[in-house]
Chains A and B, each alone.
Chain A
Amino acid sequence: MNFWASIVASQTTLLTGLWNTISSSLLAIAISTVVGILFGIILAYGNRIVKIPFRIYVDVIRGIPGLVIVFSVYYFIDFWLRSIGFALPPFAAGFIALSVNAGAHVTENVRGALQSIPKGQIDAGKAIGMRFGQILWYILIPQAVVRMLPPWLNTITEIVKGSSLLALIGVAELLLTTQQLIAKYNNALFYYAYVGVIYLIINVAIESVGKYAEKKIGRGINA
């Protein structure tokens, strides 16, 4: 098969890989964002004792390379599930590992954003008779969202790049399918460059949507 024919033939395979990269990333983004907001609020405003396990989670995860987390989650959950008679598909282990990893980072983003809001905002909310839940929802979170958007976008691009680690536990995402194509057609240089450009396009797209969102929701704060 000549060069151009092999590239045309590899598009469907690459598309499956792209789909797995995108879907595992999206799942991880969604889960880590929910987890991060919840844990971030607890770390910012929680009782000292209550905070301890969340603090440990964040510090431990952030101190470990992503690859180690992927392998640990995969083998730990796999081992545990096998003991009760289930098998864990690599894809599931993959997005869970990505979520566990990113969750720690989003938690820190949220905590930092909340704690950077001046204390007077809470006082002002209390002074008009609001309960803490209302202060959180109407006053603190809207301001925190603006502040955490840049680091959160950063975390998202890290998730997308980090999803390539899932190749190592056998998830047929972009990198693994690329490697399969290289095994089939050779031409490593071309395929790695090609897949690199795809990652780049995804992340540039995320950045530009983010920049736009920053402008939109930053009214009054990023004036």
Chain B
Amino acid sequence: MSQNLLEIRSLEKWFGKLQVFSDVDLDIRQGEVVSIIGSSGSGKTTLLRCINLLEPFQKGTIRLNGEEIGYKEVGARRVRLPESLIARQRIHTGMVFQQFNLFPHMTVLKNVTLGLTKVQKLSAADARAQAEKWINRVGLADKINAYPSQLSGGQQQRVAIARAIAMNPLVMLFDEATSALDPELVGEVLQVIKELAQDGNTMILVTHEMRFAYEISDKVIFMDKGKVAKVGTPKEIFEDRDLPRLQEFLSTFNVDLGGRRAEDRDH
């Protein structure tokens, strides 16, 4: 078995006649935190959705824990697995969406237990215990019986994180988890994500929070014009001197990495 938890090879994705990306290769080891950055429309969301098998892709392979997911080779033909099998493979990846996508007709507790009882077939008591643990971890113990519409955006996103991580996935995928939030609510969600990273969870983050990506990531990927334009350590990416497109992209963010003030560093 390979030592990579996630292994993407020559991935290619089309929406009809629009090629979103091609030749995407990516290796992620157990416990690694990988950020994906790039301008709007560069295919970051689509890549995460392919990894979670929410989108079909036309070429390439994704291996999770050594097993190819989503497709299989039948002779020379490549066929997508039936939805029931795909549903089972999706259990190993957790996804947090930009728009939270909580179930509005269910309480916080029910949002988190749904997958535990219906997919993992835990007993009601076990599911509840597991859900409560994660709801506490994201700091929402007092909101356990609230409906999503009664929560702030930041609280909703923390519930969404609890819902995903409670399933105990091998990889967590975050698609701009803080982009839909009011600025004052961003911090509480980033804090939760940071703690999950420190616990050793393997995660891929699509983000426009450059400071956060710099601090939290083991590896940063810059996507540009449908390709992975550069992969490197945060230092290699944010202090890049070779790739004008990357420098141009970063310059739109005002990322202040060198001269950080001491009090900022403590967050």
Contacts and interface: CB of A to CB of B under 8 A. Distances in A.
A223 B150 contact: yes
B94 A219 contact: no
Contact of B167 (A128, A142, A143): A128
Contact of B101 (A123, A131, A221): A123
A219 B101 contact: no
B119 interface: yes
B105 interface: yes
Interface stretch (A92-100, A132-140, A155-163): A132-140
Contact of A123 (B54, B114, B148): B54
B60 interface: no
A221 B105 CA distance: 6
Interface in B86-101: 87-88, 90-91, 93-95, 97, 99, 101
Interface residues of B, number: 34
B244 to A, nearest CB: 36
A131 B104 contact: no
B94 to A, nearest CB: 7
Given A124-B97, A220-B148, A223-B150, A130 B87 contact: yes
A141 to B, nearest CB: 10
A82 interface: no
A219 B147 contact: yes
Interface of A: 118, 120-121, 123-124, 126-132, 134, 138-139, 142-143, 146, 219-221, 223
Interface of B: 52-54, 83-84, 87-88, 90-91, 93-95, 97, 99, 101-107, 114-115, 118-120, 147-150, 160, 163-164, 167
